[in-house]
Structure 1
Amino acid sequence: MNVRFSFVLDKNVPNGPGYTAYENGFIEGALNIFVDEKLFFHDPYVNLAS
């Protein structure tokens, strides 16, 4: 069985003075999990850090 994880980081995040992505929990993107090259799971808005 071949399992592959793909995470594409969303680079459109708010920014400004004093803003850090880690403190505000805004490191997110799309997560895909493939099993034997077939899409098994897809979530377009996974929060990577909170």
Structure 2
Amino acid sequence: MGDALRLMHDNAAHAWTVGELATKVGSSRAAFARHFDERVRAQRGVHPPPPSPAE
């Protein structure tokens, strides 16, 4: 995550996409998005909602 943040900081004018950042740091788009979301939520003290019950 640190590498992605450095990329965004070093080129803040660039319109970064999740896919582009994932590629730059050697991750899949889905894994990067999940990890990013988890980190942002953790920083804000927000926890993901519990899983939905199986229907």
Scaled by the length of structure 2, the TM-score of the pair is: 0.17
Higher share of residues assigned strand: 1
Higher share of residues assigned helix: 2
Scaled by the length of structure 1, the TM-score of the pair is: 0.17
